[in-house]
Amino acid sequence: MSPILPAFLPGLTLAVAIGLLVGFERGWQLRDEPPGQRVAGIRTFAVLGLFGGLLGIVGDRPVALLSAAGAVIALLVGHAFDMRQTRVVSATGAIAAMLTLLLGTAATSGKMVLASIGAALLVALLAGRKSLHALIRASNEDEVHTLVRLVLMALLVLPLLPDAGLGPYASLNPRRLWFVVVIVGALSFAGYVLQRWLGRARGGLLTAAVGATISSTAVTVACARQLRDAPGITSQAGIALGSTIMVARTLALVAVLAPFVLRDIVWLIVPALIFSAAATAALLFAARREASTLEAQPTRLPGFKLAFLFAGLVALLSLAAAAASHALGHHAGSATIALGGMVDVDSAIAAIGALPPGMLPSPLAAMAIAVPVAFNSLLKLALTLSIAGKRRGDWAAASLAGTAAFVLAALATRLL
């Protein structure tokens, strides 16, 4: 029978491991300096992690504070002498050492997950020094101002807005509407950054693929803006790719949240998924041919005008859906859920999954999900044509129209 390990051992081991990891990164960054010239190397950081871990185990707050203060003073004095000798001003090493001490304490204080995540982020930031500095050198003033505006919108304005239904039928939620602005703006800016980094073709498609897991409609707005500024098959392929991921995500969410509907929903939207996937594959193949010519075109920094316009459209649709649902009354369950899902397909799936078993028959529940899928495709079709124009968004529009037509045809067959 194996002996029982002490309760403090996992946390203390993690604390030392954090110190070794940070120390290894710091030692590698300063590997060209001669021995004895570095204020803190791998052993010092390992000791700091161990020191922090022991402070968390002791738990005596006055002793811990005095010990930590002594270690911090020693580190600051050492770094002050180092900066005086080398004439290189940098506080990174001192701050990394203090964070290692703090993370070690967290590891033995019942916060091992926090310590692990903090250590990973710390090492990633330290190791990304050259990449971050290169990013700063490659950025211009307009890009910085756009990023600052986006950060203020997401981290300052969004938390201050009320998360409650306002207006007629309590259909307008200020925080959710502003979140739409943030999502569209963030996707547009992320696409711009990825296109500058990976090239317009690969960066644009990667943004569409990742963004569609959050909002395929926001991806459509971002790609349609790119089509308006610089026409090309790649942006149209991004719209089709986002639509395909949306339909596939709908099936996945139904399987998880409302599995009793899965059999019926398969017959309604799988044909549309097959068509959308085929159209996407064709557009992706065509996009490969224009990759070289696309890279020669300049990438324009996105603004937030379309994001605000799209949020206004979402507000109007929410109001219309709420008014229609109110007119139908609560007894028309499937119709009410379908109308509510016009703006967000996921909400319709979640609403059906939350219903008591047997309250809504599976065929009706499947229709309540398929109708928003068709409407979402038609909405993206309208956005593509209105933003990019018929000539610049023709193939993407055809893909979206075909996807909606397949869903509507399946619904008509079921009703007849």
Ordered DSSP codes for 135-172: HHHH--HHHHHHHHHHHHIIIIIHHHS--S-BSGGG-B
Annotated domain spans of the chain: 9-134, 140-415
Measured CA to CA, the distance from residue 111 to residue 75 in angstroms comes to 25
CB 265 within 8 A of CB 252: no
How many residues are listed for the chain in this entry? 416
How many CA atoms within 13 Å lie on the side-chain side of 111?
14
Q: Name the 3-class secondary structure at 354.
A: coil
Burial class (CB in 10 A: 0-12, 13-18, 19+), 383: buried
Q: Name the 3-class secondary structure at 248.
A: helix
Measured CA to CA, the distance from residue 21 to residue 120 in angstroms comes to 9
Query: From the CB of residue 280, how many other CB atoms can be counted at a distance below 10 Å?
Result: 24
Measured CA to CA, the distance from residue 95 to residue 74 in angstroms comes to 13
Measured CA to CA, the distance from residue 220 to residue 212 in angstroms comes to 9
Q: Name the 3-class secondary structure at 197.
A: helix
Tokens of 352: 């059906």
Cα dihedral angle (88, 92, 94, 100), rounded to 10 degrees?
-160
pLDDT for residue 44: 81
From the list 221, 273, 287, 259, the residue with the least C-alpha distance to 353 is: 259
pLDDT for residue 32: 60
What string of pLDDT tens digits covers the 416 residues of the chain? 445 667 778 888 999 999 899 888 877 776 666 555 555 567 888 888 888 888 888 766 666 676 667 666 766 666 666 666 666 556 677 788 888 888 988 898 888 999 999 999 988 888 887 777 777 887 888 888 888 999 999 988 999 999 888 878 777 889 988 988 898 888 888 888 887 777 777 777 888 888 888 888 888 988 998 888 878 888 899 999 999 999 999 999 889 888 888 888 999 999 999 999 999 999 998 888 765 555 556 677 777 888 888 888 878 877 776 776 666 654 455 556 665 556 667 777 777 776 667 667 888 888 888 888 998 899 899 999 999 988 899 999 999 999 999 999 999 988 77
Place of tokens 């290894």: 24
From the list 174, 40, 158, the residue with the least C-alpha distance to 94 is: 40
Helix 174-198 × helix 141-152 angle, to 10°: 150
Query: From the CB of residue 91, how many other CB atoms can be counted at a distance below 10 Å?
Result: 11
Tokens of 375: 């409407």
Burial class (CB in 10 A: 0-12, 13-18, 19+), 108: buried
pTM of the entire predicted model: 0.72
Query: From the CB of residue 294, how many other CB atoms can be counted at a distance below 10 Å?
Result: 20
Query: From the CB of residue 297, how many other CB atoms can be counted at a distance below 10 Å?
Result: 12
Measured CA to CA in angstroms, residue 399 lies from 275, 281, 381, 396 at distances of: 8, 11, 9, 5
Measured CA to CA in angstroms, residue 236 lies from 147, 243, 267, 284 at distances of: 26, 11, 27, 9
From the list 81, 79, 80, the residue with the least C-alpha distance to 93 is: 79
CB 171 within 8 A of CB 318: yes
Measured CA to CA, the distance from residue 107 to residue 264 in angstroms comes to 49
